[in-house]
Structure 1
Amino acid sequence: MDETAQKQIKALSFLLQFPDEKTLESLRAAAAGIEQVFAEPGRIHIRKFLQYLTETPHLALQEAFCAAFDLNPDTCMNLTYHQYKDGAKRGPALARFARAFEQAGFDLVCTDLPDYLPMVLELMSQSTNGDFQWVIAEHRQTVKMLTERLKSMQSPYAAIFQVLTELLEAVSNQYKKGA
């Protein structure tokens, strides 16, 4: 994965964080830099989303986030849930993510499961040698499905997921070509 893709993945991870006050302050301060990481047409989606974050009252942002990701299992950001629900195969899949974080030197000190998309993106943004190619191979279709579901809900997060879907597709194609 090239440096630009790493920066884009890191920015998308940041944009998908719960919009608490601290995160919103950081996003506002970093907005111009975040936009510059993306080329058109992704930049248009990013700019629109950042405008949404700026113009929407804090509580409404949190409500929209919870409605999209916390209250609707069909659009939760836990990647393995969409493949395995709460079945027996989910445990080993979660363990694989936990090992990936451990091997990369990350301490999982939060309350989220290790397959939580913003955390996974943060992990992927640290890789230059394809260590996390398996994440893209196994979960790219899940992200694409989430994009479509968020679009049908008319969620403002659909734009961010659209950019992520396109980025994962491009990175996957790079891996296939051996780049």
Structure 2
Amino acid sequence: MLILKVLSRLLDYPSQDLFTAKVDLLTVVEQSVDISPQTKQQLTDFISNLVSKDIYDAQERYDLLFDRGRSLSLLLFEHVHGESRDRGQAMVNLLDVYRTNGFEIHSSQLPDYIPLYLEFLSEQPKEFAQEWLGDICHIMTMLSERLIERECDYCILFDALIEFSGFAVDRLEIAKAISKEERDDTVEMIDKAWEDKEIRFDEPVADQCPSSKPAIDLASIDITPSQDVPIKWHNAGGSQPSELTQNTRMSGL
């Protein structure tokens, strides 16, 4: 499913290769049968606007959106687990599913990075991909609504994924909740997030020191799949990767 591969690339850090692949990107969007004509037009406009920018401006905008504050993080489990140890186990489970389905990661990104997750789904059967996107539909809706609040056209990428999934959540309820949030990408909020906590001698030291939060060490965690993860993992052991191979992938992607 090349449309998922295109959306994966568009949600990744803007690169010269992405800009060079403009024609291929637009061709896949136009030929896709999995999204509506309206969504095709919105994606076409997004791609055209993105590649018309100076690449450094595009990269700076991306950094300010997705790497400043946690509310627009592209790491799925950050929205579910934060920095808790449960996040590490969930990622190990996800890695296990990737490998079970013949998907090996050759990337410095964590396995719950959304563009990487989409890359995996692009090589699975359509029904599988739709169900797994449905599992994170609430997160994608939340991200889309936060981008809409910022009047940012990156929201169309998440809306296209939601449409592809065929799932729906109570968008009005999520939008209402998002409207009450305080943005976390301002200088004041970033400073607040990093400011030292008051030291109290009647509390355990581990609860006071930000650096004591458990690091995510995949190698040290039991790889036995957990039965209690917020994004459910389907029994995908019998699924086979789709026929989309390196030879059939479009150039530039």
- Normalised by the length of structure 2, the TM-score is 0.60
Residue 11 of structure 1 corresponds to: 6
- Deviation of 1:19 after TM superposition, in Å, equals 0.6
CA offset at residue 130 of structure 1?
4.4
Higher helix share: 1
Task: Look at both structures and tell me which one has the larger radius of gyration over its CA atoms.
Answer: 2
Equivalence for 2:180: none
1:78 corresponds to which of 66, 75, 79: 75
Deviates more, 1:37-46 or 1:125-134: 125-134
1:48 pairs with 2:45: yes
Cα deviation digits, residues 81-112 of structure 1 (max 9, x gap): 10111112111211121112212222222111
**Runs (4+) off by over 4 Å:** 129-134
Structure 2: gaps of 5 or more residues:
169-253
**TM value normalised by structure 1:** 0.83
Distance in 1 (alpha carbons) for counterparts of 2:11 and 2:67: 13
Letter aligned with residue 8 of structure 1: I
Distance verdict in 2 for CA 1:135–1:93, change over 3 Å: farther
Q: CA RMSD in A?
A: 2.0
1:117 aligns with 2:114: yes
8 Å contact from structure 2 (residues 134, 162) kept in 1: no
Alignment length (residue pairs): 165
After the TM superposition, which residues 163-178 of structure 1 pair with which residues of structure 2 at under 5 Å, given as runs? 163-168=160-165, 170=166
Distance in 2, Cα, partners of 1:13 & 1:161: 10
Identify the range of structure 1 (115-124 vs 93-102) with the bigger mean alpha-carbon deviation. Answer: 93-102
Q: CA deviation at 1:23?
A: 2.1
1:14 is matched by which residue type in structure 2?
R
Q: Tell me by how many angstroms 1:132 deviates.
A: 5.3
Q: 1:96-115 alignment to 2 at 5 Å? A: 96-115=93-112
User: Paired residue for 2:137?
Assistant: 140
In structure 1, runs of 5+ residues without a counterpart are 1-5, 173-179
Q: Distance in 2 between matches of 1:70 and 1:33?
A: 30
Contact 1:17 1:23 in 2 (8 A): no
Answer whether contact 1:45 1:160 (CA < 8 A) is retained: no
Query: What residue is the counterpart of 2:65 in the other structure?
Result: 68
1:64-85 residue CA offsets vs partner (Å, 9 max, x unmatched): 1111111221101111110111
Letter in 2 for 1:56: K
Q: Which amino acid aligns with 1:135?
A: W
Question: Percent of counterpart pairs with the same letter?
Answer: 22
1:30 pairs, out of 9, 24, 32, with 24
CA contact (8 A) 1:45 1:163 kept: no
